[in-house]
Structures are given as C-alpha cells and as structure tokens.
C-alpha cells in the first residue's frame, strides 16, 4: 500500500516537473515571437488544410510571421470569425446574405483555390470510366434509377457491360462542404432534386447509406458491390478510386483533373466572388467544383487588431493568391484562374483600417 | 476493545508502524472527519455535475423546444435544408439497436455467468474465459467498428442475400450484433459475481434432496441471483444506448425511419457525433442538443425502471 502511494506521488511529481519544463520552453518561444514577428490565428475548412499548411510553412520561413490555422470545419470557422476570435477563417461554402445579417461588420471573401467533388463507384464495367449525365446522376441519387442495367445508364455507356445489380447510394453522414457542393450541383441540374432535397451541408437523403468523412464513404463504396457515392477529388485521386466522367452544361464529357477544375472557374465571377461555380458554363470545365475561401472583415480596426497586423495579414493573403498558387498542383488542388485572381486582388485592396486603405500595390 | 486491538494488529502488520493513530483519539477523530467530509463532497459533486449537465442541455435546446414542442419526439422528418427537425427515427434507432443487442447478448452472458460462477470457478480455463470476457470491455469501440466493417458486414451481407432482403451488410442488425459483443462483459461479470455468491447451503440442500445440477441452477441459483443478473443487464443496456463510434460505422447513418431490422438507420448518439460539427444555424444546433437531452432522459428512465425491477426481483432471505 505504501509502495503504491510512493509510486503515485513520484509519478505525479515527475508529471509536474515535466509540464513545468515544457511550459518554460513554450514561454520563451512565445516571447521570442511577440518581440519580432506577427502572430495570426485562423480556423475553418479542413478541405484546403494540407494546402494552407504548406503555404503557411513556406511563407513563414521567408517572413517573420507565425500562422496558426486549425482545421475545425467551415461551420466552426464562420462561428469564430463572427465572434472575432480568429484573424481570418476558411470556408468551403460562402456566407449567405441571411447569415451575414447578424454579423457585426462587413465580411469579405478571398478565393484561394478550387476543389472538386467526384463520383466514385463499385461496379465492374470493364476498363472504361463510367459516363454519367446530370439527369442520370440526379435520378440515381433520388432513387429513381435503382439498377445498374437501367436503360438510361445503358444509353450513355453503350460499350459497357452493365450488370443486373441493385445500386446502393453512399453519401456523407457528417455535415460537410463536399455534400454542399454536390447537392448544389444537383439542385442546379434537376428540378426534382431542388424541390425534394435541396442543397446543404447535411441533407434529408431520399436513399442510401451514410459514411463518416471521405474515408467512410470510400470505405463503404469499396465494400458494397454495386455502390456509387461522392468524395473529394483529392481523396479519390490519392486513393486511386475509379471516378466517373460527367457531362457538363456544354454537353462535353469531362473527367475531373486539376486542369478541368481550374477551367470550371473561367466564367464571369461576381465582384465579391460569392458564387457557386457548379454546372459551369465553361466548355471544358468539370461541372462539380467550388471555390474555397478565406474570409476576413473589411474594416480591420476591431478588438486588439493593429495596422501592422492587418498589413501582415493582407500581405499573406496577397502572396497566397499569387506566388502561393504554385503549391496547389503538387498537392492536387486546382489553382485559381486569372479572372478569379483579378477579383481577389480588388477585394484585398478594398480592406481598410480605420477607414483608410491598407494595401498599396 | 476487540475492534481496537484488531485495528492495531492490522496497522502493525501492514505498515510496521510502532503506534497507530488510534492511540491519539483526537487525531483519529480529525482524520475521520476529514474522510467523512471528503466523501460528502464527492457525493455532492456528482449530484451537481449530473444536475448541471441536464440543466445546460435543456437551456441550450430551448430554441428547438419552442419551435417544435412535443412534435420533436414524434416527427420523422430530419431536414436541415428546410429547417425541420424531428427525433423519432433516432429514438427508434437507439431503442431498436439497444434492445436487439440486449436480446442477442443475454443468452451468451447468462451462459458465461453460469459457467464461471458455477461450473468452473477456478483453474486455468476459468481464468482464461474470465480474462478474455473482461478484455472485451477494454477494446476501444473504434476497433469494434473496424472489425465489424471488415468481418461482420460481409457475413451479414451473405445472410441478407440468403434471406432475400436488400444486401446492404450494414444496418441496424449489424450494429446490434457488434453492440451485443461489446456489452457481454458488463452483464457477464456482474452475473458471475452474484452467482458465485449464492450460499452453498442452499445448493447443497437441493442436491441432498436429489436435485440434478440443472434443477439446482434453475430453481436455486437463478432465482437467488436474478436481481444481480438483471442489474448487470441494465448496466449493459445503458452502455448500448450511449455507444457512438462503432454504431456510426455500422448502422448506415440513414436519417429515416427503419423499415426492418436489416435496413440502415441512425441512433441519437450517432447523429449528434456526425452532424454537430457543421450545424451552422442555431435551430440546428439546439435540435441536436435536444436529442442529447432526450438521450439523457432515456438513460435515466432505463435506470429507474431497472432499479424498480431489481428491487422487485430481490429475494428475501
């Protein structure tokens, strides 16, 4: 009994000493950074996190700045920017006018890259990729088409040997920007989808099974013979999942790639970039794509914010939409096309501190 | 006098101290008081925490309670797009998976309890079975989820093909199977303890009257220990109701009313885990929290009913 007590006490002591030691370390580090560079905190979408992480690491090597981005999800990011906890936030879905109403101040959206959602499947149709039109895709996810050898699928895949097999729809179970992009596309192309289901991060799905995160959906697709589901393009690419080729608005069958996703954004973008680019007019664009944004306040004089910090923040964002774009392709993100960069530049220039413009470029 | 000397004896034996606190009555009473107030504080803390959780759940779910009222419990619509929320599919999913799991688990845990409490009370076989059963309780639920996905799902899919229902493989039945395995140790270990505690006088008396072993188990052991066995079952049920990770991975996360035990569904714990993170507007968040409150109440009701039945079952000796 005594031995046990001694053991516990010494353990507690060790833990205390250890934590003290590490505390000291952290303190000195924090001091160092507060003396020199700026510290920015951000939070939000997890989808672009690998890209942001790489960008921030490279940027802070060249500049005296510390950037801490926590991938807690778009919803959490928006909540934190609303409460002014973070310097900027990341989101996969732009903030709607309705949500903007109860925000204290004006929030600006800066697109940083383009993501895409692909349709993956588990059915043996030979070597060719499965071709899908928007109508067929909507009908499958609505539960109107239930067999793989349905005439509608056969018609667009004449060469494929489609089996007489039930289709199992797989979707995301957790609220997700990926679901938003996918359902936004289906709402644009199908009246029935728009009225029955609609677009959102979580939906009331007419049919199917739900998997948690991209990995959960991909796992279910792999396991369920005859299944079809949607995942992020990058996830599908890095895991070599079969992806279907989808007919876009111009009638071209486009397979998802970094290039065809970038192309999708080569359309007329509104000045505030708050637009969904699904079902794009671009003839070679892949139809299920979306910007991902960083959001910040237009008027930066709030809380303990300083002009110096605002300057550093804007310099970082400027770098991200220009030099930083070179990191997109190596991580399988689609870079912003020229027209989107032009819009983003204008928005960054409009940021003010105490009513005065900050960025002089 | 007898007590005091016993205490002295104990102290000498374990600590090797030359005198004990009982030689100083003042010190002893001070220690006693300290100990008592410590116990009291711990008890009060538990009450405060439970009440605090319940109150904060109710406060956070007020917007949803105001909007939907009692309909929240009876509506089958869960649609964030049009901001309509009803918890019935999840309530049904939770109760269905838990009670199905319990039904599957009871024969096994009862058998293990009797085996370890009556047939093999000691020896390598007993300790092997006992250790393995207890090990089941220590496995993280995400591992059960993985194992279920890779092993159980294909088996269930094969079964579903044979009986001719839509062969999803995942769904309420699969979740119940995995839950049953997860909760066996809880009911089995408590069952074993109470079966072991059946006084041997009763058993011997029955044997001397010519009862067979089966008759002894049926007429003496089970009636004597049924309240304890039932307490174990309630404990297991409580665990099944709240289980999240393994169920999320295997239930199919379909927010609709299940048509059968083979169809995909969802549970209260699972929908909270899935959707809370991206619940972007107040009504959505508070509806999820209200589900949490409902889950809390369900757990309390199960415990109260369990307590009542345990009392009823108690054998007067």
Structural domains of chain A, with CATH: 39-114+290-357 (3.40.190.10), 116-264 (3.40.190.10)
CA distance A243 to A254: 11
Residue A8: band (very low, low, confident or very high) from pLDDT cuts 50, 70, 90:
low
Q: Hey, which residues does A282 pair with through a beta bridge? A: none
| Minimal CA separation from A8 to chain B, in Å | 17
Say yes or no for a CB contact (<8 Å) between A201 and B280.
Answer: yes
Q: What is the pLDDT, as a whole number, of residue B234?
A: 92
pLDDT for position B164: 86
Cβ(A134)–Cβ(A287) below 8 Å:
yes
Mutation site, B171, B173, B274, B285, interface A, largest A CB count within 10 A: B274
What is the average pLDDT across A62-85? 90
pLDDT of A18 above 70:
no
Give the span between the Cα atoms of A313 and A307, in whole angstroms. Answer: 10
Please report the pLDDT score of residue B4 as a whole number: 45
A174 contacts B277? CB cut-off 8 A = yes
**Which pLDDT belongs to residue B84?**
92
Q: Which residues of chain B neighbour A193 with C-beta distances below 8 Å?
A: none
Write down the pTM of the prediction: 0.83
Mean pLDDT of A278-295: 94
Interface mutation vs chain B, best among A205, A210, A213, most B CBs within 10 Å: A210
Give pLDDT, residue B8. 46
Contacts of B211 (CB under 8 A, 6+ apart): B219, B220
Q: How far is A315 from chain B (nearest CA, A)?
A: 30
User: So what's the pLDDT on residue B316?
Assistant: 58
Residue, of A124 and B13, whose pLDDT is higher: A124
Check residue B136 and give left, alpha or beta (phi > 0: left; psi -120 to 50: alpha): alpha
**Average pLDDT, rounded, for chain A:** 87
Instruction: Extract the tokens encoding A97.
Output: 């006018």
Which pLDDT score is estimated for A76?
86
Contact A75 B277 (CB under 8 A): yes
Residue B294 falls inside a structural domain: yes
- Tell me the helix, strand and coil percentages in chain B, rounded to 5: 80, 0, 20
Length of chain A: 361
Contact B57/B293 with Cβ under 8 angstroms?
A: yes
Cβ within 8 Å, pair A174-B278: yes
Domain contains B258: yes
Domain that holds residue B157: 87-316
Closest Cβ opposite residue A175 in set B167, B256, B278: B278
Whether the per-residue pLDDT at A322 is higher than 80: the answer is yes
pLDDT at res. B6: 44
Predicted pLDDT of residue A9: 55
Do B80 and A99 lie within an 8 Å CB cutoff?
no
Query: Does any domain span residue B61?
Result: no
Q: For every one of its 317 residues, what pLDDT tens digit does chain B have, with 9 covering 90 and above?
A: 344 444 444 444 444 445 555 566 677 788 888 999 999 999 999 999 999 999 999 999 999 999 999 999 999 999 999 999 999 999 999 999 999 999 999 999 999 999 999 898 888 999 999 999 989 999 999 999 999 998 999 999 999 999 988 888 899 999 999 999 999 999 999 999 999 999 999 999 999 999 999 999 999 999 999 999 999 999 999 999 999 999 999 999 999 999 899 999 999 999 999 998 888 888 999 999 999 999 999 999 999 999 998 888 876 55
Query: What is the reported pLDDT for A203?
Result: 92
Give A269-313 as a DSSP string.
--TT-----SS-S-TT--SSEEEEEEEEESB---TT--HHHHHHH
Partner residue opposite B278 with nearest CB, options A168, A201, A208: A201
The shortest C-alpha distance from A28 to chain B (Å) reads: 34
A186 close contact with B: CB closer than 8 A? no
Domain count, chain B: 1
> What residue in B sits closest to A221 (Cα-Cα)?
B168
What ipTM does the predicted assembly reach? 0.80
Kindly state whether residue B65 falls inside one of the protein's structural domains.
no
pLDDT at B317: 54
Per CB-CB distance under 8 Å, the chain B contacts of A2 are 15
**Looking at residues A293-310, what average pLDDT do you find?**
91
**Strand (E) positions, B21-89?**
78-79, 84-85
Burial of A207 (0-12, 13-18, 19+ CB in 10 A): middle
CB spacing of A174 vs B280 below 8 angstroms: no
Rounded average pLDDT over A184-202: 94
Nearest by CB: B82 against A99, A198, A212: A198
Q: What is the pLDDT of residue A126?
A: 79
Query: Do A312 and A65 contact (CB within 8 A), yes or no?
Result: yes
CB contact under 8 A, A173 and B253: yes
Which among A56, A45, A68, A67 is positioned nearest to A291, based on CA atoms?
A45
- Chain B residues touching residue A224 (CB < 8 angstroms): 168-169
Q: B-side interface with A, Cβ within 8 Å?
A: 14-15, 77-82, 149, 153-154, 166-170, 248-249, 252-256, 264, 266, 274-275, 277-281
Do B255 and A205 make contact, defined as CB atoms within 8 angstroms? yes
| Beta strand ranges found along chain A (DSSP E) | 38-44, 65-70, 88-91, 107-122, 131-132, 168-172, 209-211, 227-232, 245-247, 253-254, 289-297, 352-353, 356-357
DSSP string, A39-68: EEEEEE-STTHHHHHHHHHHHHHHSSEEEE
- In degrees and rounded to multiples of 5, residue A147 shows phi and psi of -125, 150
In the block, residue with structure tokens 């299940």? B258
B58 domain-assigned: no
CATH number of the domain enclosing B142: 1.10.3720.10
A233, A120 Cβ separation under 8 angstroms: no
- The answer to whether position B238 is within a domain reads yes
Measured between CA atoms, how close is B309 to chain A, in angstroms?
A: 38
C-beta atoms of B279 and A175 within 8 A: yes
Residues of B in Cβ contact (< 8 Å) with A220? 170
Q: Find the closest chain B residue to A207 by CA distance.
A: B254
A175 and B80 in contact by Cβ < 8 A? yes
SS3 B262: coil
Chain A nearest CA to B103, separation (Å): 25
Chain A: closest CA distance from residue B299 (Å): 25
Residue matched to tokens 């009225």: A195
Has residue B56 been placed in a domain?
no
CA distance B53 to chain A (A): 23
Closest residue in chain B to residue A98, using alpha carbons only: B281
**Is residue A129 within 8 Å of A242, Cβ to Cβ?**
yes
């Amino acid at each position: 009994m005594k031995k046990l007590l001694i053991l516990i006490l010494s353990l507690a002591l060790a833990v205390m000493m250890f934590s003290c030691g590490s505390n000291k370390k952290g303190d000195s580090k924090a001091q160092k950074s507060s003396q020199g560079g700026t510290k920015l905190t951000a939070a939000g979408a997890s989808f672009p996190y690998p890209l942001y992480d790489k960008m921030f690491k490279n940027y802070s090597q060249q500049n005296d700045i510390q950037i801490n981005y926590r991938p807690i999800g778009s919803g959490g990011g928006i909540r934190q920017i609303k409460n002014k906890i973070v310097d900027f936030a990341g989101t996969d879905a732009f903030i709607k006018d309705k949500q903007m109403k109860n925000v204290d101040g004006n929030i600006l959206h800066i697109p940083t890259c383009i993501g895409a959602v692909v349709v993956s499947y588990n059915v043996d149709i030979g070597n060719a990729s499965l071709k899908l039109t928007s109508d067929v895709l909507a009908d499958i996810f609505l539960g109107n088409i239930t067999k793989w050898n349905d005439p509608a699928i056969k018609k667009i895949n004449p060469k494929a040997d489609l089996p007489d097999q039930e289709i199992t729809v797989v979707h995301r179970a957790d609220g997700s920007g990926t679901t938003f992009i996918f359902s936004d596309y289906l709402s644009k192309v199908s009246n029935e989808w728009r009225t029955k289901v609609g677009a959102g991060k979580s939906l009331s799905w007419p049919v199917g099974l739900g998997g948690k995160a991209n990995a959960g959906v991909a796992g279910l697709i792999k396991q369920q013979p005859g299944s079809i589901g949607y995942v992020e393009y990058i996830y599908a690419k890095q895991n070599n999942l079969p992806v279907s080729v989808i007919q876009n608005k111009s009638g071209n069958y486009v397979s998802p790639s970094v290039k065809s996703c970038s192309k999708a954004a080569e359309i007329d973008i509104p000045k505030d970039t708050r637009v969904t680019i699904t079902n794009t007019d671009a003839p070679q664009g892949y139809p299920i794509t979306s910007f991902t944004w960083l959001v910040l306040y237009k008027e930066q004089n709030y809380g303990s914010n300083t002009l110096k910090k605002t300057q550093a923040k804007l310099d970082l964002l400027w770098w991200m939409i220009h030099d930083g774009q070179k990191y997109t392709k190596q991580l399988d993100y689609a870079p912003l096309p020229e027209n989107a960069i032009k819009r983003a530049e204008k928005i960054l220039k409009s940021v003010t501190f105490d009513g005065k413009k900050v960025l002089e470029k | 006098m007898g007590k005091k000397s016993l205490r002295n004896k104990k102290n000498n034996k374990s600590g090797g101290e030359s005198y004990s606190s009982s030689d100083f009555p003042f010190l002893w009473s001070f220690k006693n008081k300290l100990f008592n107030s410590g116990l009291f504080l711990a008890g009060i803390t538990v009450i405060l925490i439970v009440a605090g959780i319940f109150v904060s759940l109710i406060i956070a779910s007020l917007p949803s309670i105001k909007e939907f009222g009692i309909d929240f419990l009876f509506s089958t619509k869960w649609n964030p797009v049009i901001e309509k929320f009803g918890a019935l599919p999840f309530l049904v999913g939770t109760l269905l998976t838990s009670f199905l799991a319990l039904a599957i688990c009871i024969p096994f845990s009862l058998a293990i309890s009797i085996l370890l409490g009556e047939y093999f009370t000691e020896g390598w076989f007993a300790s092997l079975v006992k250790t393995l059963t207890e090990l089941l309780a220590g496995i993280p639920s995400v591992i059960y989820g993985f194992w279920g996905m890779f092993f159980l799902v294909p088996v269930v899919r094969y079964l579903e093909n044979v009986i001719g229902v839509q062969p999803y493989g995942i769904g309420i039945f699969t979740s119940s199977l995995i839950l049953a395995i997860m909760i066996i140790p809880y009911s089995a270990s408590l069952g074993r303890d109470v079966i072991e505690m059946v006084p041997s006088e009763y058993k011997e008396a029955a044997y001397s009257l010519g009862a067979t072993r089966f008759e002894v188990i049926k007429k003496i052991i089970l009636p004597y220990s049924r309240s304890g066995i039932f307490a174990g079952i309630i404990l297991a049920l409580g665990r099944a109701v709240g289980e999240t990770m393994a169920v999320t991975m295997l239930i199919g996360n379909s927010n609709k009313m299940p048509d059968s035990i083979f169809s995909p569904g969802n549970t209260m714990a699972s929908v909270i885990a899935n959707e809370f993170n991206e619940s972007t507007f107040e009504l959505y968040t508070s509806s999820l929290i209200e589900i949490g409150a409902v889950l809390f109440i369900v757990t309390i009701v199960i415990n109260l009913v369990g307590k009542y039945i345990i009392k009823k079952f108690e054998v007067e000796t």
